[in-house]
Chains A and B, each alone.
Chain A
Amino acid sequence: MPETNYDQEMAFFVDMQRCIGCHACEMACAECETNGQESMIHVNYVDRAKSPQTTVQVCMHCEDPTCANVCPADAIHQDEFGVVHSANTSRCIGCSNCVLACPFGVPKKMEEAELMMKCNMCYDRTSAGKKPMCATVCPSQALYFGTREEIERMRPDSEPVNSFMFGQQEVNTKVNIMMPKGTHQLIIP
């Protein structure tokens, strides 16, 4: 592992109410030389017939990543900083276990390459002390990269939440979702 300046104080925050559906994050993500012009972040309308509300889905970098746990080829690695990396290309067998198992629907199988690809928190940038590309360009700062203290100070009406209940499964993540003040866990029945 090369020497790194990854700052563990820095965290990733997603605030859906600010998302304007512009897709700047996707376009900037795809520019990364390791992504082959594919975006690892995805913007979608919730129900365009009724609202321009969009959601933006980035890898949540789970503390106990289901994708890695179900990988039969041990291709998905979580590093010492908690970043869950995209599949190791020499190991990945394109089985799609991770695609099916991820509670957030993040990994995508790139059919042409027979490989799973997903966000690695712009490791080349974050390990050099920079922000991930999507959070750098996001014009509404629906995607924010900084310290928890900073965002709590700047956005006093919102609460960063990184704990999710999917039925019986509790998932804690490195990435936070901004929720109304007082929210501590998102429960998805």
Chain B
Amino acid sequence: MAKLPVSVDKIIDDFGPHKAYAPQTGFHGNSEPDKLVKTHCCYCGMQCGIKLKVKDNKIAGFEPWEEFPFNEGRLCPKGVMRYMQNNHPDRILSPLKRVEGKGFETTDWEHAMSKTVSEIKRIQDTYGKDAFAMLSGVSLTNEKSYMIGKFARVALKTANLDYNGRLCMVSAGGGNKKAFGLDRTSNSWADLKHAEVILVAGANISETFPTLTHYIWQARDNGAKLIVVDPRMIPLARTADLHLPIRPGGDSALFGAMLKIMVDNDWLDHDFIDNYTSGFQETIDAVKDYDLDWAEENTGISKELIYQAAEMWGKANTSFLLHARGIEHHTKGVENVLSCINIVLASGRIGRPYCGYGTITGQGNGQGGREHGHKCDQLPGNRDITNPEHRKYISEVWGIDEKDMPGKGLSAYEQIEAIHRGEIKGMISICFNPLVSLPNNNFVREALEKLEFYICIDTFLSETARHADIVMAGSLHEEEEGTVTTAEGRVVKINEAITPPGNTRRDGQILMELADRLGEKEKFAFPTSEDIFNELRVASKGGTADYYGITYQKVVDNMGIFWPCKTLDHPGTPRLWEDKKFETPDGKAHFNPVSYRPASEMPNKEYPVVLTTGRVVSQYLSGTSTRRIGKLLDQYPEPLLEIHPKLAFQYGIENHDLIKVKTRRGEAEFPAHVVETIREDTVFIPYHWGGKHSANQLTIDSLDPVSKIPEFKVCACQLEKTGKKGSQHLTETAYQSSL
């Protein structure tokens, strides 16, 4: 039974979210800390270096780490405030058990562990191994990600492990593997500095990767032209040379049309195309009819702007194309990514200085966490769980019989569907808050309520954890040593600043004890995080994501090492493809034909407006931690419905009117934010909030057929005036996720 044990208001009273602020004079020890620990921000894929102040085994504040080469001390507001988690009054300090009618009560580790293991065994004995599933997340270090991949397959013996990267960059991964045979941003960010043209598609860099903004401006100081493709005038678009305000879902039409213009004008690198790529002819055949009239109709961007962008891109000598969730969160996410790669390959501008391409991975370890067996179809080193050779190698590393290695499991949202079908009966999750972050989340809630047993490992009682039977009190980023791999492919060191407080445990320790109780102690005997990393190095050896040559010492000495790094004497690889030898079977970069197709749910008479979702600078993902930090909440307290004045006028909507937004999945009310900085046919809602304020009550659960990413960026909605204004009460309580 994973229904709420008591009213949601009681749970909020007990476990928050509550807004926390630092004391007026700062935390004890802020001015005279015992030590400063060099580590990284726990949030986005930039993984900015930061120094945490520690006093009496508590985090007391932060200090910029100006020597770390990526960010040189620069931070966004989330980075500045990230230190607030350790001292937070909502922090779960002990394991909890669900008590019907009461809520959650403190329990001891013995009960939490024995109850968990007995339920896992009961469910697996009754319904089969795969009836017990695991969901994980890539805010976790490489060590934890690797161990979870092994834990699910070796200790739980389930095929059904997946992760929240499924909502993040799997479309990019799918596209990168098809085109290059390897899944990593092709360059370090340093290659932005002298790019003549930077094309940013569907990446709200200034709000979601703020510290990357400086790199874009450095390039602009050096004369770079900036093209931004986004339905909204995001801060980066405000001063861009070209802003292409695309209709959500029109991406592959735009990039297909740009490819056709490049071909028509012979803005092509024939030597590169002829000698180092395959599939060019089929790819340009697929776009031969994509003339400017067609492109304008299917992208919502004027012909003139499309041509100017193609000309700017086509004629450049150096360039960098960046994309993120804006083009990836689609049922054709992989196709959108491939359509971007096609214009990069046609230009031949890759594998050279200041010629770059890449996705900007969203989560802290979105890169490393997607390489070492965290995914339902993957084994360490970015190996394929269905490939016999890969299975054999990893089975040997893990000391298991290959036939005991589970096969390919269900992806994150497919697990939710399988719960509804009665195929999955129990679940353990860590670092994932699907009740806020998955689409059509009323369906997700119903799934949670159907589980026979659910265990959640977390640091705060997230909206999803409210449905747990057992909550295991895990560790924060600063409470366990490890490594992460940043969005540019740089492996960096996360240092343990403090030991886990109260009766909490390191996540690794929790997983090792569970493995022990499931009868696999010797396979999880890792005295230190470095021991896990050393096994990961061996497990990744020979895979496309090869970490064998990376050691903790090397990472510390060099402030990060870029993979692939195959031997101990190798310095790492900031820029891929300099030898023009790609990791595909034929060694060539692959063009892939992309034919534009519409989104899974297009607007019609009944649902006439496009709804798209995204993020704001002061919140991070599902808000499990950032929706508890007072100043971050005060900056943007509740989700607003961004709407253009012309569309607002049609409905008689004025600023701050409370608007009911309805889709085929659900409805919710949001105050209107009438701004000219969005397309006239599209409304936008940020998704960080839960309960009745959750935008994901509305979004559609259609998945990309290859990457299984949900189509967060396009669905059709109705707008209805409620006759009410947004209220101070709603604004001030939105963060709590009441129902």
Smallest Cβ-Cβ distance to A39: which chain B residue:
B631
Task: Say whether B710 faces chain A, with CB atoms less than 8 Å apart.
Answer: no
Are A137 and B675 in contact, with the CB atoms below 8 A? no
Known contacts A24-B210, A140-B213, A33 near B77 by CB under 8 Å: no
Are B62 and A155 in contact, with the CB atoms below 8 A? no
Task: Report the Cα distance A26→B77, complex, angstroms.
Answer: 8
Are A37 and B24 in contact, with the CB atoms below 8 A? yes
Task: Report the Cα distance A37→B669, complex, angstroms.
Answer: 34
Residues of B within 8 A of A49 (CB): 645, 655, 674-676
Are B31 and A33 in contact, with the CB atoms below 8 A? yes
Known contacts A27-B81, A140-B214, A37 near B73 by CB under 8 Å: no
Are B80 and A137 in contact, with the CB atoms below 8 A? yes
Are B221 and A22 in contact, with the CB atoms below 8 A? no
Task: Report the Cα distance A182→B233, complex, angstroms.
Answer: 29
**Chain A: minimal CB distance from B71 (Å):** 8
9-residue interface stretch from B139-147, B235-243, B383-391, B436-444: B235-243
**Chain B: minimal CB distance from A142 (Å):** 9
Task: Report the Cα distance A23→B81, complex, angstroms.
Answer: 11
From the candidates A18, A21, A31, A137, name the one contacting B26 in the complex (CB within 8 A): A31
Are B26 and A139 in contact, with the CB atoms below 8 A? no
Are A137 and B25 in contact, with the CB atoms below 8 A? no
Residues of A within 8 A of B234 (CB): 52
Task: Report the Cα distance A20→B211, complex, angstroms.
Answer: 11
Task: Report the Cα distance A128→B350, complex, angstroms.
Answer: 44
| Residue among B61, B66, B238 facing the most chain A CB atoms (10 A cut-off) | B238
From the candidates A20, A31, A156, name the one contacting B221 in the complex (CB within 8 A): A156
Task: Report the Cα distance A43→B235, complex, angstroms.
Answer: 14
Smallest Cβ-Cβ distance to B232: which chain A residue:
A52
**Chain B: minimal CB distance from A39 (Å):** 9
Residues of B within 8 A of A28 (CB): 75, 80
Are A141 and B74 in contact, with the CB atoms below 8 A? yes
From the candidates A27, A50, A52, name the one contacting B80 in the complex (CB within 8 A): A27
Smallest Cβ-Cβ distance to A24: which chain B residue:
B77
Residues of A within 8 A of B221 (CB): 154-157
| Residue among B21, B61, B75, B675 facing the most chain A CB atoms (10 A cut-off) | B75
Task: Report the Cα distance A53→B233, complex, angstroms.
Answer: 10
Are A139 and B675 in contact, with the CB atoms below 8 A? no
**Chain B: minimal CB distance from A139 (Å):** 4
Interface residues of B in 11-37 (CB under 8 A from A): 21-26, 30-31
Interface residues of A in 59-98 (CB under 8 A from B): none
Smallest Cβ-Cβ distance to B676: which chain A residue:
A50
Total A-B pairs in contact (CB under 8 Å)?
110
**Chain B: minimal CB distance from A136 (Å):** 5
Interface residues of A in 22-64 (CB under 8 A from B): 22-24, 26-28, 30-31, 33, 36-37, 48-54
From the candidates B21, B206, B214, B233, name the one contacting A37 in the complex (CB within 8 A): B21
Known contacts A139-B211, A155-B221, A17 near B74 by CB under 8 Å: no
Residues of A within 8 A of B238 (CB): 51-53
Smallest Cβ-Cβ distance to A52: which chain B residue:
B235
Task: Say whether A138 faces chain B, with CB atoms less than 8 Å apart.
Answer: yes
**Chain A: minimal CB distance from B26 (Å):** 5
Task: Say whether B614 faces chain A, with CB atoms less than 8 Å apart.
Answer: no
From the candidates B71, B210, B631, B676, name the one contacting A27 in the complex (CB within 8 A): B631
**Chain B: minimal CB distance from A14 (Å):** 14
**Chain B: minimal CB distance from A42 (Å):** 13
Residues of B within 8 A of A140 (CB): 206, 210, 213-214, 217
Known contacts A22-B76, A37-B21, A37-B24, A52 near B677 by CB under 8 Å: yes
Residues of A within 8 A of B80 (CB): 24, 27-28, 31, 137
Smallest Cβ-Cβ distance to B233: which chain A residue:
A52
Task: Say whether B617 faces chain A, with CB atoms less than 8 Å apart.
Answer: yes
Task: Report the Cα distance A139→B207, complex, angstroms.
Answer: 10
Are A23 and B235 in contact, with the CB atoms below 8 A? no
Smallest Cβ-Cβ distance to B634: which chain A residue:
A23
The interface bits of chain A over 103-142 (1 if a CB of B lies within 8 angstroms of the residue's CB, else 0) are 0000000000000000000000000000101001111110
Task: Report the Cα distance A52→B207, complex, angstroms.
Answer: 11
Are A33 and B75 in contact, with the CB atoms below 8 A? no
Smallest Cβ-Cβ distance to A153: which chain B residue:
B221
Smallest Cβ-Cβ distance to B645: which chain A residue:
A49
Residues of B within 8 A of A141 (CB): 74, 214, 217
Interface residues of B in 197-225 (CB under 8 A from A): 206-207, 210-211, 213-214, 217-218, 221
Interface residues of B in 241-259 (CB under 8 A from A): none
Are A136 and B66 in contact, with the CB atoms below 8 A? yes
From the candidates A20, A48, A131, name the one contacting B210 in the complex (CB within 8 A): A20
Task: Say whether B7 faces chain A, with CB atoms less than 8 Å apart.
Answer: no
Task: Report the Cα distance A48→B676, complex, angstroms.
Answer: 9
Task: Report the Cα distance A31→B233, complex, angstroms.
Answer: 31
Are A136 and B25 in contact, with the CB atoms below 8 A? no
Residues of A within 8 A of B675 (CB): 48-50
| Residue among A31, A49, A136 facing the most chain B CB atoms (10 A cut-off) | A31
Task: Report the Cα distance A105→B61, complex, angstroms.
Answer: 30
Are A139 and B24 in contact, with the CB atoms below 8 A? no
The interface bits of chain B over 644-675 (1 if a CB of A lies within 8 angstroms of the residue's CB, else 0) are 01000000000100000000000000000011
Task: Report the Cα distance A49→B675, complex, angstroms.
Answer: 4
Smallest Cβ-Cβ distance to B234: which chain A residue:
A52
Residues of B within 8 A of A31 (CB): 22, 26, 30, 61-62, 80
Are B635 and A33 in contact, with the CB atoms below 8 A? no
Interface residues of B in 486-531 (CB under 8 A from A): none
From the candidates B25, B218, B235, B674, name the one contacting A33 in the complex (CB within 8 A): B25
Task: Say whether B482 faces chain A, with CB atoms less than 8 Å apart.
Answer: no
Task: Say whether B726 faces chain A, with CB atoms less than 8 Å apart.
Answer: no
Are B236 and A20 in contact, with the CB atoms below 8 A? yes
Task: Say whether B79 faces chain A, with CB atoms less than 8 Å apart.
Answer: yes
- For the complex with contacts A22-B76, A22-B206, A52-B235, 8 further pairs of A-B residues with Cβ separation under 8 Å are A20-B213, A27-B77, A33-B25, A49-B676, A52-B238, A54-B235, A137-B64, A139-B74
Residues of chain A at the chain B interface (Cβ within 8 Å):
17-18, 20-24, 26-28, 30-31, 33, 36-37, 48-54, 131, 133, 136-141, 154-157
List 30 contacting pairs A-B, 8 Å CB cutoff, sorted by A: A17-B239, A20-B213, A21-B617, A22-B76, A22-B617, A24-B80, A26-B77, A27-B81, A30-B631, A31-B61, A33-B25, A33-B26, A36-B24, A37-B23, A37-B26, A48-B675, A52-B233, A136-B73, A136-B74, A137-B64, A137-B79, A138-B74, A139-B74, A139-B75, A139-B214, A140-B206, A140-B210, A140-B214, A141-B74, A141-B217
Ranked nearest first, the 7 interchain pairs of A and B with the lowest CB-CB distance are A20-B206, A139-B210, A140-B213, A20-B235, A27-B80, A139-B211, A137-B75
